[in-house]
Amino acid sequence: MAQILDGIRIRAEIEAELRPRIERLLAGRRSPGLAVILVGNNPASEIYVRNKVKTCQTLGIYSEKLTPPASISTEELIEIVTALNRRPEIDGILVQLPLPPRVDARQVLLAVDPDKDVDGLHPLNLGRLLTGRPGPRPCTPAGVMELLRRYRIPVLGRHAVVVGRSDMVGKPMALLLLAEHATVTMCHSKTPNLAEVCRGADILVAAMGRPAMLTAAYIREGATVIDVGTNRISSREEAAAVFRNDPVKLAEFDRKGSLLVGDVHPVDVAERAGAYTPVPGGVGPLTIAALMQNTVEAAERRLGVCSA
Ligand code: NAP
């Protein structure tokens, strides 16, 4: 039986460790402060931001949500970011991605003060990651590393295959695994013989945004499989095919009108992997936990408070 790597349990552990640190900050000066910028009305982004703000509230982190319209220009958004850079009580600034196509996301991310870049996506912080210097790490891959560490999954000397090479997930994931001495292969849409490459993985990370694409043929027996993908299926036929007519899943589909599925085939992974993250309940909760860690760390650094 494959072990399920429970992201909700690990999130609870991380949050329990953050609480005394937040209390110490509050007792000394003030609570950490996070500003989240949500541009326009992307329904998925609205849910992500709501969950981030809710988590801040439960942990005692001050949070502020800014919601400029989708018609905002790059320059106007940069002005909002610059104003947040100047505010002393704001330790972290998160620009929820994706931004509308008319906004130059790279320019906006570049405008965030690197010391307040709790998403770890400023080029300076990505450079720190590349060169092994301390700094905030991108939240989703950082959450995955926490999960591997806390489940004591060996990384050193293992072959890790990362499918997907985005700046936000795939590339930093590969660098973090490399920093922990994995032998890393990065794959993308132009990789030939993808299934064969994936079958060579002790640790397989899927981050493509392709529902249930990595089937049994991609998974080595006993591998650790990390599924970053979050895809919503809203066709009943597709849900029936992916979940092989599982009546429980189909009943869930009928109740909700859609189902979440990762980039890894949910039935095959349970049969072949040694350990795997479920969708939902795997990587998703860890992304927010890592954001909270980055925010608390930014506040500690800015207020000169030691985390120990
Ligand atoms: P992205 O920017 O769209 O990048 C997708 C990557 O996958 C690209 O590098 C692309 O290759 C590669 N790819 C696409 N189709 C492929 C195929 N058929 N074979 C091999 N590689 C393929 O996506 P992202 O932002 O990294 O997100 C990836 C997934 O993770 C999405 O489902 C997203 O919703 C999810 N996600 C989840 C969380 C979470 O907290 N759980 C956080 C972030 C993202 P090319 O570069 O060659 O185009």
Q: Do strands 159-163 and 203-206 pair parallel, antiparallel, or not at all (unpaired)? A: parallel
Which residues are CB-neighbours of 34 under 8 A, at least 6 positions away? 52, 56, 61, 62, 63, 64, 90, 91, 92, 93, 94, 118, 291, 295
Mutate to test the pocket of ligand 1, among 145, 147, 189, 213 (most ligand atoms within 8 A of CB): 189
**pTM exceeds 0.85 for this model:** yes
| Amino acid at site 166 | S
Q: Which residue CA neighbors atom 22 of ligand 1 most closely?
A: 189
pLDDT of residue 182: 98
Nearest-atom index, ligand 1, CA of 288: 40
Q: Buried b / exposed e across 77-114, counting CB within 10 Å, b at 16+?
A: bbebbeebbeeeebbbbbbbbebeeebebeebbebbbb
pLDDT of residue 306: 77
CA dihedral 271, 276, 278, 284 (to 10 degrees): -160
Residues marked as catalytic: 52, 96, 119
pLDDT of residue 25: 97
Burial class, 281, CB count within 10 angstroms (exposed 0-12 / middle 13-18 / buried 19+): middle
Let me know: does 23 contact 61? Beta carbons within 8 Å: no
pLDDT of residue 129: 98
Cα torsion 30, 125, 129, 57: sign: positive
164 lines ligand 1 (CB under 6 A): yes
**pLDDT tens track for 150-190:** 999 999 999 999 999 999 999 999 999 999 999 999 999 99
Residues lower than pLDDT 50 in the chain = none
pLDDT of residue 248: 96
pLDDT of residue 308: 57
pLDDT of residue 29: 86
**pLDDT tens track for 37-87:** 999 999 999 999 999 999 999 999 999 999 999 999 999 999 999 999 999
